[in-house]
Amino acid sequence: MITLTTDFGVKGPYVGEMKGAILTINPEAKIIDITHSITRHSIVEGSFVMEQVVKYFPPNTIHVGVIDPGVGTERRAIIIEGTQFLVLPDNGLATLPLKWIQPKAAYEIDLKKMETIIGRKISSTFHGRDVFGPAGALLSLGYEPSRFGKEIDIESIIKLDLEPKKQEDCWLLKVIYIDDFGNVILNLENYERPKYVEILGRKIPYLDTYGKVKPGELLSLPGSHDYLEIAVNQGSAAELLGLKVGDEVKVKLIYGEG
């Protein structure tokens, strides 16, 4: 089973080309489109989406992620092997899904070896079609990842700085995702349940679900992904608060009446 997460969009031929490359190698491959609508070049957003997908897929699933603004540069193309496989550029995209696959080894894909295996030249600007997709297809056929290149230190894989930072009685957090409803997801998990969350000068009640406030009102909640979420019932918290993925915000969790 191969999942695809990209920022290719659906207008052009890119997704189709990548699927064709996969199916040429393994016509029986089961391909699951997660999304091709990651905000262009947003590695943070792609990492969050891949994390959520990895959490709910069975062992040995091959997750191909292509959010790759550095395509064709010196950045590495890698395979991470664990309970599942990650096939992606080494640009921080692995940061969040890596937590869930119990990684045991990682490999840098040798482009010359890949050219020999697939029997054609690799484009310098479309590694989704020519590198990552084919690597996923070959893994699905049982190829050992060591056939693609040398093993590398797992600790050398690039990680995004997504650790929440404590500042006195506040947290300095990052927006790691905004969904189609405008819900703002922040990089704080495993926290004690507060009564209120203070963000951008607003004191917002912490509740269990959206319908606990009137339409148009703000609330905070654990969300379905276990990260701190800011939302508006039947509205967009991102628009109301003027937030976008990657923004840093100071957040205070209030445990009393405040």
Instruction: Report pLDDT digits (tens) over 47-73.
Output: 999 999 999 999 999 999 999 999 989
Task: Please name the residue that has the structure tokens 């959520």.
Answer: 52
pLDDT in tens, 112-130: 999 999 999 999 999 999 9
Q: Does the pLDDT value for residue 258 go beyond 60?
A: no
Query: Which pTM was predicted?
Result: 0.95
pLDDT band, residue 15 (cuts 50/70/90): very high
Report the share of the chain in percent with pLDDT over 70. Answer: 99
Structure token pair of residue 69: 């603004």
Q: Does the pLDDT value for residue 37 go beyond 90?
A: yes
Q: Does the pLDDT value for residue 257 go beyond 90?
A: no
Buried b (16+ CB within 10 A) or exposed e, 207-240: beebeebeeebbbbbbbebebbbbbbbebbbbeb
How far is CA 222 from each of CA 9, 61, 169, 176, 189, rounded to the nearest angstrom?
A: 30, 28, 20, 14, 8
What are the two backbone dihedrals, phi and then psi, of residue 153, each rounded to the nearest 5 degrees?
-70, 125
Report the share of the chain in percent with pLDDT over 90. Answer: 96
Mean pLDDT estimate for the chain: 96
pLDDT in tens, 142-179: 999 999 999 999 999 999 999 999 988 999 999 999 99
pLDDT band, residue 237 (cuts 50/70/90): very high
Contact yes or no for 6/38 (Cβ under 8 A) = yes
All structural domains of the chain: 2-156 (3.40.50.10790), 165-254 (2.40.30.90)
